[in-house]
Amino acid sequence: SEHQHVRYNPLRDDWVLVSAHRVKRPWQGQLEKPPPEDVPRWDPKNPLCPGATRANGEVNPKYEGTFVFPNDFPALQPDAPEPDDSDHPLFQAAPARGVCKVMCFHPWSDLTLPLMSLPEIRAVIDAWAELASELGASYPWVQIFENKGAMMGCSNPHPHCQVWASSFLPNEARLEDRTQRQHLSQHGVPMLLEYAEQEARRKERLVVENADWLVVVPYWATWPYQTLLLPRRHVRRLQDLSDSEKDSLASIMQRLLIKYDNLFEVSFPYSMGWHGAPTGPYLEEDCMHWQLHAHYYPPLLRSATVRKFMVGYEMLAQVQRDLTPEQAAERLRSLPEVHYK
């Protein structure tokens, strides 16, 4: 906890430099603005609100639960043309097609997931599973992700996420596919199933747990209060969860996100996303090496205004963190599960 060392991340096949003493250094760098506390519950100028007009002129229905619609500015489109053939191996291009959707969690802009009720969170999980199944019927990868807070690039103050389905496996998916496949081949057990069992027994990086799930600050975490959400049984995809597992997932998500908000008494920014076995043509293949999991990557380090920057050494050498995962887990674990508001 006092001396620098490196830790191996078997999921990404890379290393992180842990320099716990650096968190004590004085900070005169950039200070972030805390998120606004006065977000209106409904704003006709907010394109995600019920009844609001979006950039393409479409008017949202006056929805009362979750609401899914095509992204008006998609990064992927289903009918993109083939790129030109390359005349040299150093200049390669490949087709990239897909669809991008936006999913609103709730009609109220002043709510976030930790402030929603368990039935409302469960409705979000159901919608995630439906989209994963629907888009996964034809696309190899369906990436569900939430950017929470302006600090993480969220462009509209409204509880929502995005879902991008692609005709290819993105870099992180290909990497996790390789490492998990190798682990199962070498050790005879899915990597993250074994890892969850180890963390449940050791408890030093455990944040919250219930009968079906556990949340840990992973041994190899890079972001200060990064967490990994894992099922206790072997589950390959979000759509494979039982009703009771979805209920307990809603509960553990709420508990984690309340702790996040309570850490600095602010609506805690993060980027999160689900990783599971590939879909589309991979539905017919053996994907037993895969274990469903969700990553949470929050940037805040010391307070609501001081963030961790991935620059310099992190960009040019390898990722580095300023407190140990054990210290981060202990702090999160000790926080109350009643929201500070």
Q: What is the pLDDT of residues 100-111, one digit of tens each?
A: 999 999 999 999
Q: Is 162 labeled as ligand-binding?
A: yes
Quick one: which of 154, 170, 160 has its CA closest to 98? 170
User: What are the backbone angles phi and psi of residue 248, rounded to the nearest 5°?
Assistant: -70, -25
More confident residue, 254 or 28: 254
Known binding residue 176? Answer is yes
pLDDT in tens, 128-140: 999 999 999 999 9
Catalytic hit among 106, 160, 183, 289: 160
25 is a domain residue: no
Range 53-64 average pLDDT: 95
d(CA 275, CA 130): 15
The model's confidence at residue 28, banded by pLDDT at 50, 70 and 90, is low
Q: CA-to-CA distance for 247 and 92, rounded, in angstroms? A: 45
Predicted confidence (pLDDT) at residue 26 exceeds the cutoff of 60: no
On whether residue 341 sits in a domain, the answer given is no
Query: Residue 22's pLDDT band (boundaries 50, 70, 90)?
Result: low
Q: Is residue 58 part of a domain?
A: yes
Decide if 311 contacts 214 (C-beta within 8 A). Answer: no
Question: pLDDT band at 178, cuts 50/70/90?
Answer: very high
Q: Is position 160 annotated as part of the catalytic site?
A: yes
Any domain includes 17: no
Is 275 known to sit in a ligand binding site? yes
Question: Percent of the chain at pLDDT above 90?
Answer: 87
Number of domains in the chain: 1
Average pLDDT, the chain: 94
- Does the annotation flag 308 for ligand binding? yes
Q: Is residue 213 part of a domain?
A: yes
Q: What is the mean pLDDT of residues 278-286?
A: 96
> Is 293 one of the annotated binding-site residues?
yes
Q: What is the mean pLDDT of residues 58-82?
A: 96
Nearest-CA neighbor of 290 among 274, 299, 278? Answer: 278
Give the whole-number percent of the chain exceeding pLDDT 70: 96
Per-residue pLDDT, averaged over 21-50, amounts to: 77
- The predicted model gives 196-212 an average pLDDT of 98
Q: What's the predicted TM-score (pTM) here?
A: 0.95
Cβ of 223: how many Cβ atoms within 10 Å? 22
- 155 appears as a binding residue in the annotation: yes
Q: What is the pLDDT of residue 23?
A: 61
Instruction: Write down how long the chain is.
Output: 341
Instruction: Give the model's pLDDT for residue 154.
Output: 78
Domain holding 129, by residue range, is: 38-80+94-334
Residue 113 included in any domain: yes
User: CATH number for the domain including 190?
Assistant: 3.30.428.10
In a domain, 179, yes or no: yes
Q: How confident is the model at residue 309 (pLDDT cuts 50, 70, 90)?
A: confident
User: In this predicted structure, what is the pLDDT of residue 34?
Assistant: 75
Query: What was the pLDDT predicted at 152?
Result: 80
Q: How far apart are CA 27 and CA 332, in angstroms?
A: 23
